[in-house]
């Protein structure tokens, strides 16, 4: 009979422990997701910036030899990440894809000039830097015009700061919610053993002695929750990377590993802090309050 009773208690404790770990893990998954997004925000912005094309339109009198020499010279510039020579024929094919195959019939000769497409380093994609680069490029005797999407540049730079503030605010809110939820979960677990804690305090046990077994359990719960949350996030990120080439390029593995490691530490830290706070309160409540 006693053995059966002990088995029932053990099963209840295991269920309680599993429930706590799962609950804490769900909260940590949300925090980890927001943190991964925040850690890679600059990479996402850089990706869009570095895939913006700056077209250098050359004068009709420019020969192919001169154009290729200019393209080779531009590719060596520190701010140029990638350059591509676009011949008149390639330019015409691109225009046909946009405007239709018959658009050139209205012209006696092809109006499509030779051009050079540049992709710049993300650090120079600002209004002032692009205006400076544009001015330098137009000093060349071969360059007719420099074209890029000014509105896209302004929109990217204007929204980056806002996005950073929003993501930061979301992380802070999630941290507050996670601390509240995890604290509540830990409080329920410890409160169920409030009579044991009270008895220990009555016989003269010190606060550190009372808290020690609960802190050990909190470390295990936090570590288990953090590892479970990290494993789930690892699977989610791997799936997202395989589904989207964009995210595969912008989500850095080292930042991902760092965030997941911090997730485990965060789970342990919140569980331990919550445990210490709750144990301190329970250890010194009156006997009458134990029943409320």
Distance CA 179, CA 182 (A): 5
The answer to whether residues 262 and 193 belong to one domain is yes
The answer to whether residues 58 and 39 belong to one domain is no
The answer to whether residues 38 and 60 belong to one domain is no
Total domain count, the chain: 2
The answer to whether residues 132 and 57 belong to one domain is yes
Give a yes or no: residue 3 inside a domain. no
Distance CA 174, CA 184 (A): 15
Neighbours of 124 (CB within 10 A): 17
Give 23's contacts (C-beta < 8 A, 6+ positions apart).
181, 182, 185
Annotate 238-268 with DSSP letters as a single string.
HHHHHH-HHHHHHS-HHHHHHHHHHHHHHHH
The answer to whether residues 34 and 178 belong to one domain is yes
Domain span including residue 170: 12-45+157-291
Choose among 214, 223, 184, 203: nearest CA to 280.
214
Q: Percentages helix, strand, coil for the chain, rounded to the nearest 5?
A: 75, 10, 15
* pLDDT tens digits along 230-261: 999 999 888 888 887 777 777 888 888 898 99
User: For every one of its 292 residues, what pLDDT tens digit does the chain have, with 9 covering 90 and above?
Assistant: 445 544 554 565 577 667 778 878 888 888 888 888 878 877 777 787 878 888 888 888 888 898 899 989 998 888 888 898 888 777 767 666 655 555 555 555 556 788 889 998 887 787 788 888 888 888 888 888 888 877 766 676 667 667 777 777 877 887 787 777 767 766 776 776 777 776 777 777 777 777 788 788 888 888 998 899 999 999 988 888 888 777 777 788 888 889 899 999 988 888 888 888 877 776 666 655 555 5
Give the predicted TM-score (pTM) of the model.
Answer: 0.66
Give a yes or no: residue 226 inside a domain. yes
Mean model confidence pLDDT for the chain: 78
233 exposure class (CB count in 10 Å sphere: 0-12, 13-18, 19+): buried
Please tell me the total number of residues recorded for the chain in this structure. 292
CA distance readout (Å), 3 to 12, 147, 191, 192, 237: 14, 82, 25, 22, 46
Choose among 32, 13, 34: nearest CA to 220.
13
């Amino acid at each position: 009979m006693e053995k059966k009773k002990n088995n029932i208690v053990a099963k209840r404790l295991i269920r309680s422990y599993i429930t706590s770990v799962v609950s804490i893990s769900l909260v940590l998954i949300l925090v980890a997701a927001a943190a991964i997004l925040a850690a890679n925000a600059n990479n996402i912005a850089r990706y869009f910036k570095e895939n913006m094309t700056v077209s250098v339109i050359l004068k009709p009198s420019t020969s192919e030899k001169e154009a290729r020499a200019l393209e080779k010279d531009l590719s060596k510039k520190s701010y140029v990440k990638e350059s591509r020579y676009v011949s008149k024929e390639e330019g015409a094919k691109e225009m046909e894809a946009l405007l239709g195959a018959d658009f050139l019939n209205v012209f006696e000769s092809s109006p499509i000039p030779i051009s050079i497409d540049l992709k710049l380093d993300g650090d120079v994609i600002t209004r002032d830097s692009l205006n400076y680069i544009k001015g330098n490029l137009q000093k060349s005797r071969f360059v007719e015009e420099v074209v890029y999407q000014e509105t896209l540049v302004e929109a990217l730079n204007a929204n980056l700061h806002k996005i950073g503030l929003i993501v930061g605010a979301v992380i802070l809110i999630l941290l507050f919610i996670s601390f509240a939820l995890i604290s509540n979960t830990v409080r329920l677990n410890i409160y169920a053993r409030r009579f044991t804690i009270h008895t220990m305090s009555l016989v003269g046990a010190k606060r550190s002695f009372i808290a020690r077994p609960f802190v050990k359990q909190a470390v295990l719960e936090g570590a288990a929750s953090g590892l479970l949350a990290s494993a789930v996030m690892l699977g989610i990120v791997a799936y997202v990377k395989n589904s989207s080439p964009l995210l595969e390029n912008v989500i850095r593995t080292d930042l991902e590993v760092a965030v997941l490691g911090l997730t485990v530490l965060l789970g342990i830290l919140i569980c331990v802090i919550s445990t210490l706070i709750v144990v301190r309160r329970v250890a010194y409540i009156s006997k009458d309050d134990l029943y409320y």
